[in-house]
Structure 1
Amino acid sequence: MNILVIEDDPSVRTLVKAVLEHNGNTVMTAETATDGENQATENEFEMIILDLGLPDGDGYEVCKNIRDKDISTPVLILSGKQDTDVKVKCLKVGADDYLTKPFNTEELIARMGAIQRRTESGGEQVLSCGELKVDLLKREFTINSEKVQLTNNEFNLLVYFLKNKNRVITQEELAEKVWDIHFDTQTNYINVYISYLRKKIRDHTETDYIETIRKKGFTFRCEN
């Protein structure tokens, strides 16, 4: 993979670069938010590893700005902060996963692999349900052939629903399978993303595909 590492700590940056290159990857690095965002915009990467604390800004803004430019490259956040609120904020601005410092290099590689598996097709190219269609290779979502823009997190959530349609899925399962993170059950993070996805679907069709099952979870209703 061609990977961008945005990290201002020279020891962490050197370690991550060495581990990734040892595993056969090509690595470019940036030490500041500005340089990292410019590189992410001007070059094509298959993954971005992003530190939250940067000398001229923070990883939140870098990730948000990248997503605002319709760059869908998977982003793995590195941070010494362990608070659930911080993890939730990272995912809300478009990150795909979060790894707390200090971290085991084997876990870093494993989480990168998990991100790849979630963003790849897994053998199927197109998923459909009624007038909804998802092209996994193009990462494109359409309703009645009209393109609907989704964030990475919304897209991955929709794909999981389509692969598990017509069965009850708990919030805990969504947190683990879609984002590979265990959330405090009191957080409303999952509900927020369900709401985002439901609204975007309802903006283009009167069919309410996502059904909330009280005290159990959600079901994505599909007749075909």
Structure 2
Amino acid sequence: MIDIYYVEDDENIARIVKEYLEQRSCRVSVFHTIAAAQKAFEGHVPAAALVDWNMPDGRGDSLCRWIRSRWKELPLIFLTVRGDSRDIVSGFENGADDYVVKPFELEVLYSRIRALLRRAGNVPEQYLSCDSVRLDQNRMMVFCGEEEITLSQSEYQLLLLLIRNKGKTVTRERILQQLWDSNGSYVNDNTLTVTMKRLREKLHNPSCIKTIRSFGYRMEDTL
């Protein structure tokens, strides 16, 4: 199932595109404002995004720029009602990979999506997030909001383990075993407590990291 975000204020066009793509093993989430799309992106990264040029609360190129600043490999197509070269140039300058001019053939749109997906690979697996905390697995980079956070190896591995298991409680025993004991570095329980304390401080004490007393930790979305 290909997960696609479609940012479009025209409900009729959105319905037609959604129905067509969902007949081709896509799961399409439609957002009628840029603000709604941004909120959805913060909680989940899709496999690809379609962005209309004219939106009630802004222009599509500004959303393209916002998306690209966070998810560099995400396949991104913007839709313009005119073949205006200025619109097209602005879209590419702000991070779009391709464009389609309305009215468009649905088969053409789908083929463009498939082509970009083949080139990009599985983007959702690369990017993990929980509230304002984002992790890029390919680059081993961590962000809190707009700020890039520098972590030690043990802090990064702890965050990675928790965010990969978002919504699930991970026991202290499992964390110690996977992050330290499996590498032959036998440490005491206090090492985990100290590492977690430092991780939280660097991430500005996010509410999405929960302590499950006498058991372990859990990451979950709170926004």
Which bin holds the TM-score, normalised by the shorter protein? 0.5 to 0.7
2:66 counterpart residue number: 65
2:114 counterpart residue number: 113
Highest CA radius of gyration, 1 or 2? Answer: 2
2:92 counterpart residue number: 91
- 1:41 and 1:73 mapped to 2: Cα distance? 14
2:102 counterpart residue number: 101
- Do 2:73 and 2:120's aligned partners in 1 also have CA atoms closer than 8 Å? no
Structure 1 unaligned blocks of 5 or more:
122-136, 141-224
- 1:71 and 1:17 mapped to 2: Cα distance? 25
- 1:119 and 1:111 mapped to 2: Cα distance? 12
Q: Counterparts in 2 of 1:186-197, with a 5 A limit?
A: none
Q: Would you identify which runs of 4 or more consecutive aligned residues in structure 1 move more than 3 Å?
A: 137-140
* 1:39 to 1:5, Cα distance in 2 relative to 1, 3 A: same
Structure 2 unaligned blocks of 5 or more:
123-136, 141-223
Query: What is the TM-score of this pair, normalised by structure 1?
Result: 0.52
1:23 counterpart residue number: 24
- Do 1:41 and 1:66's aligned partners in 2 also have CA atoms closer than 8 Å? no
- Do 1:33 and 1:54's aligned partners in 2 also have CA atoms closer than 8 Å? yes
Structure 1 vs Structure 2: percent identity of aligned residues? 30
**Residues matched between the structures, number:** 125
Shift of 1:139: 7.6
Q: Counterparts in 2 of 1:43-54, with a 5 A limit?
A: 43-54=44-55
- 2:69 and 2:56 mapped to 1: Cα distance? 22
- Do 1:33 and 1:56's aligned partners in 2 also have CA atoms closer than 8 Å? yes
Larger mean CA deviation between 23-32 and 83-92 belongs to 83-92
- 1:88 and 1:5 mapped to 2: Cα distance? 21
Query: What is the TM-score of this pair, normalised by structure 2?
Result: 0.52
- Do 2:9 and 2:33's aligned partners in 1 also have CA atoms closer than 8 Å? yes
DSSP-derived class of the 1:81 partner: coil
* 1:119 to 1:42, Cα distance in 2 relative to 1, 3 A: same
- Do 2:47 and 2:117's aligned partners in 1 also have CA atoms closer than 8 Å? no
DSSP-derived class of the 2:50 partner: strand
Q: Deviations over 1:129-148 (max 9, x none)?
A: xxxxxxxx9489xxxxxxxx
- Do 1:41 and 1:71's aligned partners in 2 also have CA atoms closer than 8 Å? no
After superposition, the CA RMSD in angstroms is: 2.0
